[in-house]
Amino acid sequence: MNYLDEFKKFISSHYLSTGVRLTLGAIIPSLIFQHYGILGDMIAFPLGTLLIGSTDNPGPHHRRRNSLLIAIGICFLVACITGFLRHIHFIIFAEIIIFGMLFSLIGVYGNRVNSIGLIALLVFVFNIDDHLSGDLVLRTAVTFAAGGIWYFVLFMILQRLLPYKLIQQLLGENFTELGKLLSIKAGYYFAKPDYDDLFNKMIHQQVILRENHENLREILFKTREIVTESTNTSRILMLMFLDSIDLFERILNSQQNYLNLHRAFDDTKILRLFGIYITWLSEEIQQIGLAVQSGFHSHSRHDLDEAFNKCQKAFEKMRENKMTHENMEDFIMLRQILNSLQDVTERVKKLHRATTYDADVSNGYNLAVEVDNFIPRQEYHPRILLDNLSLKSSHFRHAVRVTIALLIGYTASLFFELGHGYWILLTIVTIMKPAFSITKERNLHRIEGTIIGVVSGFLVLYLIKDSTVLFIIMMISMILAYSFLKINYFIACTNITLYVILSFNFLNPQHITDVLQDRMIDTIIGSIIAYFVSSYILPVWEHTQINQYIKEALLANRKYFDVVAAKFAGKNLDINELKVLRKDAIIAMANLSDNFQKMLSEPKRRQMNMEEYHQFVATSHMLTSYIASLSTYAQTLEHSQFSIEFEMMIRQIDRQLQAATDVIDGKIGNSVEITRESLPQNQQLLELLTKRKREIKELGIEKADQSPARKMLSDLKTINGLFELISTITIDEIKILQKIKPVSA
């Protein structure tokens, strides 16, 4: 890992921007209030800024604006209702049930609405106790809303001054993650690769990229000024995003049979040479990402033309000295890798030029896709909420768990002498998530972060007496807390605890010891409650959902295959449809992988058929990669004279994909017979292959290379090989699914 690049990435990321924006938004008015001696009375103002600002997730300007306004209104109402009724305990129990269910269940409308629900619950928790507002409920609610409005004004000003900044930050992050994916891919070319470890890293990286792509699609395609190409900057940003998607597909479709590759060429240096060059390309892509994120021009670290020529010359020299009619097919595979490297190299050079935002780069730019097909859709109809009022809904089960945990936590705070009992409820609300694996992870991070934060706070207060230094440390801890909140919960919890302790020290230094003690005790109690409720009350284990993800992946891959394969049956290729189905297949694959990764964090007794599921995830990944490889040839080659042979293959593979879906649906069908089938041989390919081998044997490589059959054979052999691999992988999937879900009579 290049720690300097990681530091640069963080410094220019939207995570740090968010941390700085929230911190300054809270600190500036706090300093003003402190100057006039009214900070204690106006503490709800900076709290409103921090909480309302936490709902400001990346997205299109109008969605962010609307969500902030809605959050301000909802939180004001919750603060008023809770504040006026908080002295009536049975009313608070009723509010916990109503608010707990409602604000947890609205997560069905997506992450943005879910964040509003989370903040509304936090406002409810803050206002249960007298610590915040005393008897001045309405004034406190207005002050809180004013803090939210202050953040809204700050957001509008920054959006006007820096309209493209968020897009650049997200796009730059996308390129750095794409570079990491290619770096993982390079590992396959070095000696003795750990295939399982590399595969798991690839899957994890693809899940990250899937999330990045979804955020960027929504922002780019929903932002009117981007889509209508009003400026050169907007055109180039869109161009770079579309190029990044194509580059992602190119990396996916470079999948090879690495076992055969090492068997054939491990005694040479060519694979290591390719691996080093792929590593260089990954560094270039990450460099582009840093440049886009920071707004500077990127500069190539390596001479890519010279490095590629070195790879090409090494291949040609080895081909000239070692290729025979017997190992010709191995060299065809190596040639395809070289072609992929050349394509990636040209794309990287183009992206380097794009970071200059030169108008010539976007000449001829055309958004050759139907925008509506790529915008993530989120409906807000009340029907969706009503449809989830069932124990079959994972969202409803999560809402029930949160509500029960809050009831237990509030009851505990009533029966035990706890100075800051509401911290129990805060811990429960922030820890509990629909997925057990995430709740478990956040639980551990919350406890560990709180302990380290309390110890750090004690040491800081014990060793440092200068209030200015303490204030600077508090600001730094706030920035780090809100910068890492969504990327490293442990670091965030540590810094949240530290800045909370320091802020209490400024407000009420006489009771700081009690704060340290309460923070520790309340967090541990809340974490214990959250853990047991998540484990034993209506839990949703990932193995109960994975079959649905498998089915979606099968259907998405089948549609993707059908539109790609149709080209080889003599039909026209719809590029827009191809890109939509490619997106759907990649999303389905990433969702399946994410679900499997969550299963690994669940209790062992809940991890069923793990070996088979791992095999299916691996085969699904390879299937999507092979279809993506096939799509590259579908977009660039014309071999209509072979359509008859391909039509037979396509029909058989389509039956295999349908059989896999039938198995997961519990249907018998003819899946057992299908697993014994093999694709029909391509007679014209066999004839070309025989002819080519004869030419090499009789004429030698140099003269044989002049034959017109050479290029056609190379392409056709690869295409035919991809059909065979897709068929083999699909049959493997059927066999795996038969073990996971025995068919019923």
Supply the pLDDT for residue 744: 36
Q: Return left, alpha or beta for 229; rule: phi > 0 is left, psi -120 to 50 is alpha, else beta.
A: left
String of b and e for 505-533 (b: at least 16 CB within 10 Å)? beeeeeebeebbebbbbbbbbbbbbbbeb
pLDDT at 742 over 60: no
Alpha carbons 371 and 579: distance in angstroms, whole number: 11
Tokens for 461? 């207060």
Distance of CA 728 to the CA centre of its chain: 29
Alpha carbons 571 and 565: distance in angstroms, whole number: 9
Report helix angle 328-354 to 304-322, nearest 10: 170
Q: Return left, alpha or beta for 673; rule: phi > 0 is left, psi -120 to 50 is alpha, else beta.
A: alpha
Contact 113, 106 (CB under 8 A): yes
Across 296-310, 511-525, 698-712, least confident range: 698-712
Alpha carbons 100 and 93: distance in angstroms, whole number: 10
Alpha carbons 642 and 685: distance in angstroms, whole number: 9
Report helix angle 111-128 to 89-105, nearest 10: 170
Across 219-228, 229-238, 412-421, 423-432, least confident range: 219-228
Contact 355, 292 (CB under 8 A): yes
* Residue type for position 475: M
Tokens for 127? 């206002």
pLDDT at 639 over 70: no
Supply the pLDDT for residue 119: 93
Alpha carbons 246 and 389: distance in angstroms, whole number: 41
List, for residues 641-666, the tens digit of each pLDDT value: 556 667 888 888 888 888 888 888 87
Across 526-535, 646-655, 733-742, least confident range: 733-742
The 8-class DSSP code of residue 3 comes to H
| Contacting residues for 88 by C-beta, under 8 A, at least 6 apart | none
Query: What sign has the CA pseudo-torsion 444, 506, 414, 416?
Result: positive
What mean pLDDT do residues 696-715 have? 58
List, for residues 46-81, the tens digit of each pLDDT value: 999 999 999 988 888 888 999 999 999 999 999 999
- Burial class, 325, CB count within 10 angstroms (exposed 0-12 / middle 13-18 / buried 19+): middle
Contact 172, 296 (CB under 8 A): no
Alpha carbons 478 and 490: distance in angstroms, whole number: 14
Supply the pLDDT for residue 143: 93
| Contacting residues for 223 by C-beta, under 8 A, at least 6 apart | 60, 61, 167
Place of tokens 């057990």: 436
Predicted confidence band at 694 (pLDDT cuts at 50, 70, 90)? low
pLDDT at 688 over 70: no
Predicted confidence band at 112 (pLDDT cuts at 50, 70, 90)? confident
List, for residues 123-165, the tens digit of each pLDDT value: 999 888 766 555 688 888 999 999 999 999 999 999 888 888 8
User: How far, CA to CA in Å, does 448 sit from each of 444, 454, 483?
Assistant: 6, 10, 18
Supply the pLDDT for residue 743: 38
Q: Return left, alpha or beta for 257; rule: phi > 0 is left, psi -120 to 50 is alpha, else beta.
A: beta
pLDDT at 712 over 90: no
Supply the pLDDT for residue 284: 92
Taking all residues of the chain, what is their mean pLDDT, rounded to a whole number? 82
Supply the pLDDT for residue 52: 94
